Structure 1
C-alpha cells in the first residue's frame, strides 16, 4: 500500500511540474545551411513562451538531408513544424531530439509539406538567449563557426524589430562569440563593420515583429 501511495505521489509531482512548464508548445523552426552543415533556428516572437533566440546544429536522417540540400543551397525558405515539446528542456540540453514535419515555405503561411515525422538531433547549441525587447535594433550576436565563417544574428529589440540571420567571412575561431553594435536600425544588406565581409542573409522575418 505504501508503494502504491509513493507511486501516486510521484505521478502527481511530475504532473504538477509539467503543468508549470509554460514553455511547452509548438516551437516552429527555420533550417539553413552553412558549409554543408544544417542549422535550425527557433522562430522567436517578441514576448511569451516563444521569446527566445535559439540556434543549434541539427542532424537529420541521411535520406532527408540529401533531399533537402538543393533547397537549402538555393536559400529556399525551409521550416519545421515540430511536435509539442518543452523549449526549456531543449535549451537546457535535457531534450536532445524531437520529430517534426518539414515544409518548403513557412508552415503557418503558404508553405507546402514535404516530409513528415522527421527526427532532428541536437548536435551543438550555438545561441541560447531570451528576447529583450527593451534594447534598440542595432545589435548583433556574432557566432564563430570555424573555416573563417561567422553567423551574424540580429538581437531582437523593441518593436518594430526583425529576425535576421546572415553568414559572413571573419577571423573568429569555432565557438568564439561576441556582441556588436551597428548604426543600422533595420535589416542590413552590407554589414558596415570591416571585420565581416561578404555578408549574405540566410533568413529574414519582419512580419512577426511589427
Structure 2
C-alpha cells in the first residue's frame, strides 16, 4: 500500500500538468481584425474572456509594400478583413515588442466562413497603440464605456469590454464625442447616437457572439 501511495505522489505533478487547459498557453493562435488610419494599417486583437486571450490590444502593422497597398484598397471599400498569424507568444504584444510573423489574411471573419485571401504574408508589429486587460468575467463591470485613440490624423473609439454579456466594437469618428459612456444603449444604437451629435461615424467591427455568458 505504501509503495502504491508513493507512486501516486510521484505521478501527481504530471497528472496536474496534463489537466492544465491548453487555452492558458500564451503561445498559440491569436486572430485579429484589420483596419486603416489613412495609409497606416492597424490590427485589433480579437479577445476572449478566458486567459491568456483576455487582452484588448491595438497595434500598427506593416506589410510588404504591394500587399499593404492591396489591403488598404480593400479596407477603403469597407471590406471586413481579419488576420490569422502563425502561432506566437501573445506576451510579445502585451509587452509592446516589435517583431515579424507570417500570417494569412481573410476576407470576412476567419472563424465565421471567411475566405483566405493571402497566405504567409510577413506582418511586422511595429507599434502598440492600446492595451487593456478584460475584467474578471465573474465580476460586475460596466459595458458602455469607450476609449478614444488617434493615429495618422484619424480618431477611433474602442469599446472597453465589460463582463458578460459584452461586445467588441470599433468605430471611426470625425471628432471626439463629449461623452464616451453609453451604458443604457446597445452597440447597434451607439453609432446613431454619435451621429445625432453631428459627428461622422463608421462602424469598423462589432462582435457579440464571443462575449455571451
TM-score normalised according to structure 2 size: 0.78
Residue 186 of structure 1 corresponds to which residue in structure 2? Answer: 186
Residue 202 of structure 1 corresponds to which residue in structure 2? Answer: 204
Query: Which of the numbers 132, 147, 160 marks the counterpart of 1:155?
Result: 160
Residue 151 of structure 1: how far off its partner (Å):
0.9
Please provide the CA RMSD for this pair: 2.4
Query: Are 1:141 and 2:147 an aligned pair?
Result: yes
For residues 67-121 of structure 1, the C-alpha deviation after alignment (integer angstroms, 9 at most, x for no partner) is 2223211221111111111111222133522111111111122111111111111
**Which deviates more, 88-97 or 51-60?**
88-97
Greater share of strand: 1
Query: Which of the numbers 58, 66, 70 marks the counterpart of 2:73?
Result: 70
Residue 114 of structure 2 corresponds to which residue in structure 1? Answer: 111
Query: Are 1:37 and 2:40 an aligned pair?
Result: yes
Equivalents in 1 of 2:185, 2:49: separation in Å?
A: 17
Residue 190 of structure 1: how far off its partner (Å):
2.6
3-state secondary structure, aligned to 1:190: helix
3-state secondary structure, aligned to 1:181: coil
- Higher gyration radius (CA): 2
Q: Is the 8 A contact 2:98 2:126 kept in 1?
A: no
Which consecutive unaligned segments of at least 5 residues does structure 1 have? 1-18, 173-178
CA separation of 1:193 and 1:106: change in aligned 2, threshold 3 A: closer
3-state secondary structure, aligned to 1:38: strand
For residues 146-192 of structure 1, the C-alpha deviation after alignment (integer angstroms, 9 at most, x for no partner) is 53x321000001111110000112269xxxxxx93224442122344
CA separation of 1:60 and 1:146: change in aligned 2, threshold 3 A: closer
Q: Is the 8 A contact 2:40 2:152 kept in 1?
A: no
- Equivalenced residue count is 184
CA separation of 1:192 and 1:106: change in aligned 2, threshold 3 A: closer
TM-score normalised according to structure 1 size: 0.79
Equivalents in 2 of 1:171, 1:50: separation in Å?
A: 29
